[in-house]
Chain A
Amino acid sequence: MMSQEKLREIKENARPLLDERLKVEDKTEVRDGNIVLKGDYYKKQVRIALRNCEIILPESIEEYIALDGYSALGKMLFEMTPEDVVNTMIESNLRGRGGAGFPAGRKWLEAFKYDADQKYIICNADEGDPGAYMDRSILEGDPHSVLEGMAIAGYAIGANQGFIYVRAEYPLAVKRLQAAIKQAKEYGVLGNNIFGTDFSFDIELRLGAGAFVCGEGTALMESIEGKRGMPRVKIHRTAHRGLWQKPTVINNVETLANIPVIFQRGAKWFRGIGTEKSPGTKVFALVGKVKESGLVEVPMGTSLREIVFDIGGGVADGKAAKAVQTGGPSGGCIPVELFDTPVDFESLAKIGSIMGSGGMVVMDETDCMVDIARFFLEFSVDESCGKCVPCREGTKRMLELLEKITGGNGEEEDIARMESLAVTISTGSLCGLGQTAPNPVTSTLHYFRDEYEAHIRDKTCPAGHCQALLEYYITEDCIGCTKCARSCPVSCISGKVKERHVIDTDACIKCGNCMEVCPVGAVILR
């Protein structure tokens, strides 16, 4: 059976072994008493949720314990009442890292106060935003921090059963979690009578099956119950009637990974990081056209510029930055002029985007904003569950309008049509997916209206991306080899041997053959 002494003993034995291994690997250093990863990429970061990732071996519970793992859980079981735990969470003001930013402590309080024979904790690991992989990295790199966070939450609200709903697209995360749960039970930090107390807590894994909407809390619960994952009409709070109509708290992976540290170091310490309204740090997946892509954890309130330029090294291939997309299909595109915006829940909402789960896709001058909006709408159309008509039909109509515009057939009225549809979709949908589905369109319309107008009025794509609006053109680099003329299926290229060739753009079907066969790269799109 696990006890606090035994935990200390395991820690004392495991720590020197861990230090020894890290010394050999030489990729870490000690900063302010914490082991951190070496290198410029990590210098400006403050890693709390990712504190152990790439440092400890994810398969080893001893290494997690070596860095104070499970000590918070052990201590609170003896020294704190569930009410104290809830109060500490409220004091820390940790806000949900899944996107909406609802204070975790308030969720806990609601579930704590509600009397029931059975309560549940759910870890939402259905990370579906394209371009975001923070949760995956935590589950794969430090699964025990999530398990400990869940057990703490369970003790706080009086739940003895937890579920982790994880995407089936993350097979390694599933494997690591299974192994971690097994180990934690063997060590007596999960299962029956944890640390010899009368608190018992078990965790079961449930796999998703490729439905984005299941990241929404009520849809997720429907899915665990074995039904179609469609959001519920929100008559009751999840904290009162959630999974199988029992009080339930759903927290996101990153939120849970923060919890053990908050209890080790105190709510006050946590509030000292980040901003007043958004304490702590946030993990971002910095991807797209950035030089150094990867996971970045910074205090809330850090500016986009610092993240993209100081940490990410700016845009790759010497191109100019154009925008950053945050919040996935629910978020918006933030133009480079607003890169000094501090990243926290309020500031991002103010400029028409959202924090979201933390995807940050950098775009350069060759990315067409109308096409990006089209890409996200296509996603929302596919993933709309079909329950609310404005979302099911509205997103489809909106996508058709965007396809019409990128296809070169846009009309002046289409912009007004989309703006009107956007209001209908967001006010007429039950869940976050529908309510936020128009955001990629409204934010790009707001900041990049001139691009829409160029597509519609001038029939050009300023970024040079939309195929239908581009023409193939042969530059003076042409050596007159005649390869293009011979490969053209509609014979619209003329020219003599060893002389520059010309494409008849009216007859051209834009198959791209000429560009492919040209030995000197003289065929371009413009």
Chain B
Amino acid sequence: MEFKFDMEKNKDKVEEFRVFIDENRDRPGVLMPVLQEAQGKFGFLPEPVLELISQDLRIPLADIYGVATFYSQFTFIPKGEHNISVCLGTACYVKGAEKVLAEIEKVLGIKSGGTTPDLKFSITPTRCIGACGLAPVVNIDDDIHGKLKVEDIKGIIDKYR
């Protein structure tokens, strides 16, 4: 699915972002923090923003693209309003995380890594979030849902609709 980014509509955020780049340009190894700031501000890495970073920091777009695609947290499509991170660590796995993920995919009708067309939900498969005592664990936005059973999933997701 195509997601367009409107620089005009996001003028204020883009301006704040420019200021961030300006304040940090002398920090060594600044590209990662800049990409993280962009992702935090815009929810994803829109192409025009990457071009802006390239011109401003004098780093070739190809290099930026290389870094952005290397790390799994950077994304080129927007996340939904509610982000559902499913922990796929070992402890969660042996306690049935696979089935929990399958159920979430079924309830939302999208695959892991995708965003619903109404931009309401995204599913992000996540590496161990270190809440192994609560396995299996799903994070919805900042809420931790632990010791999940497949039957609970629908009810929990409905609360965020």
Contacts and interface: CB of A to CB of B under 8 A. Distances in A.
A209 B128 contact: no
B128 A168 contact: no
A207 B128 contact: no
A224 interface: yes
B26 to A, nearest CB: 13
B128 A325 contact: no
Interface stretch (A12-20, A107-115, A128-136): A128-136
Contacts of A289: 94-95
Interface stretch (A187-195, A226-234, A273-281, A303-311): A226-234
B55 interface: no
Interface stretch (B9-17, B65-73, B115-123, B153-161): B65-73
B148 interface: no
B33 A206 contact: yes
B36 to A, nearest CB: 6
A335 interface: no
A223 B90 contact: no
Contact of A131 (B32, B72, B74, B128): B128
Contacts of A170: 129-130
Nearest to B39: A209
B94 A363 contact: yes
Given A131-B89, A367-B94, A293 B132 contact: yes
A228 B66 contact: yes
Given A127-B130, A168-B36, A169-B130, A210 B95 contact: no
A288 interface: yes
Q: Could you say which interface size class chain B belongs to?
A: 20 to 34
A26 B120 CA distance: 45
Contact of A130 (B28, B35, B73, B91): B91
Nearest to A140: B130
Interface string A353-364: 000000101010
Given A209-B72, A210-B73, A212-B127, A131 B29 contact: no
Interface in B45-72: 66-67, 70-72
Interface in A311-344: 325, 328
Given A209-B71, A209-B72, A375-B90, A225 B129 contact: no
A211 B88 CA distance: 15
B140 interface: no
Contact of B90 (A168, A210, A328): A328
A262 B144 CA distance: 36
A381 to B, nearest CB: 13
Interface in B99-136: 126-133, 135
Nearest to A128: B127
A227 B95 CA distance: 36
Contacts of B132: 131-133, 285, 287-288, 293, 359
Nearest to B36: A207
Contact of B28 (A129, A225, A359): A225
A132 B128 contact: yes
Contacts of A196: none
A169 B71 CA distance: 13
A207 B33 contact: yes
B30 interface: yes
Nearest to B98: A375
B133 A294 contact: yes
Interface in A225-262: 225-230, 244
Contacts of B5: none
B29 A226 contact: yes
Contacts, number: 111
B33 A210 contact: no
A136 B70 CA distance: 24
Contacts of B84: none
A229 B36 contact: no
Interface centre among A207, A209, A212 (most CB of B within 10 A): A209
Interface centre among B33, B73, B91 (most CB of A within 10 A): B91
A132 B130 contact: yes
A228 B133 contact: no
A359 B127 CA distance: 14
Q: By CB atoms of chain A within 10 A, which of B95, B127, B142 has the most?
A: B127
A209 B126 contact: no
A412 B63 CA distance: 46
B28 A131 contact: no
Given A128-B127, A132-B130, A168-B73, A287 B67 contact: no
Nearest to B70: A228
B70 A287 contact: no
A240 B95 CA distance: 45
Nearest to B133: A293
B95 A288 contact: yes
Nearest to B68: A209
Contacts of B42: none
Contacts of B133: 287, 293-294
Contacts of A230: 70
B29 A225 contact: yes
A427 to B, nearest CB: 25
Interface in A165-223: 168-171, 206-212, 223
Contacts of A293: 91, 132-133, 135
A139 to B, nearest CB: 10
A211 B71 contact: yes
A169 B32 contact: no
Contacts of A361: 90-91, 94
Nearest to A136: B130
B160 to A, nearest CB: 19
A412 to B, nearest CB: 28
B31 interface: yes
Contacts of A212: 127
Q: Which 4 A-B pairs have the closest CB atoms?
A: A133-B130, A130-B89, A209-B71, A226-B29
Interface of B: 28-33, 35-36, 66-67, 70-74, 88-91, 93-95, 126-133, 135, 142
11 contacts: A132-B128, A206-B29, A206-B33, A209-B32, A209-B71, A210-B127, A211-B70, A229-B70, A285-B132, A293-B132, A359-B132
Given A130-B128, A131-B128, A227-B31, 5 more contacts: A130-B89, A210-B72, A226-B67, A288-B132, A289-B95
